[in-house]
Amino acid sequence: MIPNVADILIEALPYIRRFYGMTIVIKYGGHAMVDEQLKEDFARDITLMKFVGLNPVVVHGGGPQINLVLDRMGIRPRFVRGMRLTDQPTMDVVEMVLGGKVNKAIVAQINQQGGKAVGLSGKDGGLITAKKLQILHQENKSEPPEIIDPGLVGEVTHINPDIINTLTEQGFIPIVAPVGAGESGETYNINADLVAAKLAIALSAGRLVLLTDVDGVLDSAGSLISSMDAKTIRKMVEDKTISGGMIPKIECALDALENGVKKVQIINGAKRHALLLELFTDSGIGTEVTK
């Protein structure tokens, strides 16, 4: 049976009530950030969330956009052990593209829908302090792991959420580019999932939502797991049911759950209005993970 429109709206009521005044951090990335229709949908969803009383905070990625500009500028990618080396010229482009072009495009699109978005990088208001990320790489078990230096890639050491709280209280929607400042003023590029998780923790957010290009967490048969707890997900990482690009996302999710965030939702941003469908319906469309 096709539910009537009133039923759909009423289904959202308990969630609207529960979410009222709640801070919710959304990692925006992947397909949803390149497709024109999906971009507009996202801007609408965020604006709607704000106007029904949630406090959305968006953290965005921008890998493809960065690569495009690097390419145009003739900056050739250099790699260490398969990882892109972020040297100073590359970092300059990363900062320009993420904090400039990409960030402002999201801001403009939300404003067009009637929201009041404000773009920030982690440098603004001392929001994100970072340090150099050291990566351990072990080629084979008989040799000791080697430390890889990917350049100006950072991890979060401290979040000062004052600027976000100030903006939110005034009715603005903060849009954060994942760039942080080191202790001595150097600039670091930080993985956006990581920033989103740390921000959710620092803001005592009720929710962290990760927009990805997959439906959510899949079981060994490849079907979507709608709801699960942290223990189960940890087991699935250990027995390698979960692998590849999903692992760092899961680590971010677990970090958030262990540090006070009530629920993490992993959804497919390539589906239209994924955010609304996950948040305001009973069954959602992705995977919800609770403690």
Question: Closest separation between CB of residue 100 and ligand ARG, Å?
Answer: 33
Instruction: Give the whole-angstrom CA distance, residue 33 versus residue 95.
Output: 18
Question: Closest separation between CB of residue 258 and ligand ARG, Å?
Answer: 19
> CA quadruple 17, 160, 230, 228: dihedral positive or negative?
positive
Interacting residue with ligand ARG among 112, 134, 281, 290 (CB under 6 A): 281
The answer to whether the beta carbons of residues 195 and 185 sit under 8 Å apart is no
The answer to whether the beta carbons of residues 188 and 181 sit under 8 Å apart is yes
Question: Closest separation between CB of residue 291 and ligand ARG, Å?
Answer: 14
The answer to whether the beta carbons of residues 43 and 109 sit under 8 Å apart is yes
Interacting residue with ligand ARG among 204, 227, 259, 290 (CB under 6 A): 227
User: In this structure, what DSSP letter does residue 157 have?
Assistant: E
Q: Considering only residues 1-40, where is the footprint of ligand ARG by CB under 6 A?
A: 15
Question: Closest separation between CB of residue 237 and ligand ARG, Å?
Answer: 19
133 sits near ligand ARG (criterion: CB under 6 A): no
Q: Considering only residues 64-123, where is the footprint of ligand ARG by CB under 6 A?
A: none
Residue placing its CB nearer to ligand ARG in the complex, 174 or 286:
286
User: Contact region for ligand ARG (CB under 6 A) — 58-66, 122-130, 148-156, 272-280?
Assistant: 272-280
228 sits near ligand ARG (criterion: CB under 6 A): no
> CA quadruple 175, 76, 79, 216: dihedral positive or negative?
positive
Cα–Cα–Cα angle for 251, 266, 242, nearest 5°? 50
150 sits near ligand ARG (criterion: CB under 6 A): no
Q: What is the enclosing helix (H) or strand (E) of 56?
A: strand 55-60
Helix/strand number for the chain, H first, E second: 10, 16
Residues that bind ligand ARG (CB under 6 A): 15, 226-227, 278-284, 286-288
